[in-house]
Structures are given as structure tokens and as C-alpha cells.
Amino acid sequence: MINFWHGRPVLVTGAGGFIGSHLVEHLARSGAKVRAFVHYNSRGDAGMLRLLPQEILSTVEIVPGDLRDEDAVRQAVRGCNLVFHLGALISIPYSYLHPAEVASTNMMGTLNVLLACRDLGVERLVHTSTSEVYGTARSVPISEAHPLQAQSPYSASKIGADKLAESFYCAYDLPVITVRPFNTYGPRQSGRAVIPTIITQALTREVVHLGNLESTRDFTFVEDTVTGFLCAAQASGGLGEVFNLGTGEEITIAAVAEKIFALIGRDVSIVTDSERLRPDRSEVMRLISDNRRAREMLGWFPAIPLDTGLLRTIEWIRAHLDHYRIGSYEF
């Protein structure tokens, strides 16, 4: 059987992030020639890539830079025939504080990737969206035809980036496909996200501090999300289209917290922390995906049940508690 990825030159932007590091690892294990674009810092820190096994990391070309630097992006794209664009500022609370930076990185950064892919003749670009662009569900499950609602500066920036990708398909016939993950979780996720926030506190404290407990989310294990990216890259159709990557199941934050407490085996109480609440009109109360298009057109389906994914995440976090600032509100 022919290995699609063996020897294929591939660029991953946002490679130092949670999903990006898992995608890089999978591609490298599959024999791809991976170039990992990570945000430059003076410490030379490659983010979550530093946690990859050395025998895998040694095969990856790490390129530091800034998505807002057109030349840096162009140099990173050059020589790659397939690009996964995951790079973005993704924190919603951070976007409240610094909307201009988030808009610039997420929209201008995406524009630079699109321009480079167009000009250098990339065979396919897989662009990353987010379920946050839908806002609170008006109808469920949420299909790709659901209205887009900018309930935070972050969401607005991602809507803009998605529309830029759409425009390059329409105007320049750029071979781009957009995947829209729903609340990915798993090992290596930062304490900014709700599941690691719950787990780290539940492992070490008697009281867990959270925000809104009644909102629902469609939690998707990171391995399933990565598989969705790979399916999008190899699909025979779907160019110019958007595909939801979610399980099609929803659960409240309160219920997932109780599930985590039971899996850990500790009796823990929950306190709602006002600091962690979004502004009323910005709170996204319900997200649940309709993943039929991804199943039918990409051949993708989620395979990891929530309990299985949570157990794997708990065990990883238990072994890496030193990576987290437990109890502090990270954004």
C-alpha cells in the first residue's frame, strides 16, 4: 500500500500549539518531510513540540517566525506542496484585552499564508477554522450552513480568516479546504482550556474554580481532530468547502466536570468564579456539530469516546503537572 505522506514536503503553521504538535508528530511518524512554523521568541522555545520524542523531533525542520511577516511566511511555504495552516491567537479572554493583535495575527497572518500558497503553486492548503464562529446555536445540530456570529473579537477574526480563504478559492482557484474543529481536547493542551483546567484542579485541590457551568460543548479528542486534517488533505473533493470536525454529542461543562471527578476518583466541589465568565452577549451557550458532510465527503468520523479520551488526558496531565500553573486563570 502506497504511503501518501512518505517523503512529502509539508508545512504546518502553528506547529508549536496543541493540535499542531499532534499533527506534526503524526506526519513525521508517517514519513513526511515536515517543516514546522512556530512563533519566534528569544528563548528558542518551540512550544509543545519540545514534548515530542527526540527521535521524532530530530526529523522535523523547525522554522521560527511571525505569521504577520509576509516574507517569513513565503520562505516557510517555499518548497512545500501541502500546507496545514493552524497558526493563530486562539484565546477568547485574550482577544477581549488585545483585539487588534488577535485580528492582525489571525487575519493578516492567514492572508500571508494564502498569498504564499497562491504564488508558489501549493497543491493544497488545509485552513483551520473554529466552532466559535457559529456563536450560540440557533438550530442544532450545527451544520456548515449555520449563520456565523461574531460574539468575541477572536470569533470575528476567525470569521474574517475563513472568508479570506473562501475568497482565494473563488477568485484565484486556490486549492483550499477548511476544517472547523469543535472543542478539541487531549494530552498537551494548555491550562487555558476548560478540560485541563478541571483536571489539574481536581487532581490537586478540593475545590475547582470554573466559569459558566450550563453552556454545552461538543468535545472531540485530539487524535480524531488530527485525522480530520489528514482526511481533508487527501480528499478527492471538497475544495472551497468547510467541514465540521465534531462528535455530534454535547455535554454541559458541569456534567463533564462531574465525569472527570468520577474518573479521577475524588470528591471535589465546584465554585463559579466571576473572573472566568464571559460578558453576557459574548457567552456561547450551545455548540453541537452536524458532522455528516465530513463523514460523507472526507470519509472522516470520530472514533474516541469521551470517557476514553478523558482518561488518556487525565493520565497525561497527572504525569506532567509541572507544566501547569494550577488554579491560576490562564488566558
| Catalytic residue check, 172 | no
Give the number of other Cβ atoms within 10 Å of residue 36's Cβ. 28
Cell triple for 262: 468520577
Select which of 40, 94, 134, 154 is catalytic.
154
Distance CA(182)–CA(244), nearest Å, equals 7
Task: Convert 148-184 to b/e letters by CB count within 10 Å (16 or more is b).
Answer: ebbbbbbbbbbbbbbebbbebbeeeebbbbbbbbbbb
Are the C-beta atoms of 277 and 211 separated by less than 8 Å? yes
Residues 6 or more apart in contact with residue 43 via CB below 8 angstroms:
none
- Closest by CA to 188, choosing from 51, 45, 46, 43, is 51
Nearest in space to 10 (alpha carbons), one of 87, 82, 113:
82
Q: How many residues are listed for the chain in this entry?
A: 331
Q: Can you state the angle between helices 109-120 and 70-77, rounded to 10 degrees?
A: 40
Q: Kindly list the strands in the beta sheet with 9-13, ordered across the sheet, starting from the edge strand earlier in the chain.
A: 61-65, 33-39, 9-13, 82-85, 124-128, 176-181, 242-245
Instruction: For the beta carbon of residue 265, count every other beta carbon within 10 angstroms.
Output: 7
Run of H or E including 127: strand 124-128
Please list the active-site residues.
154
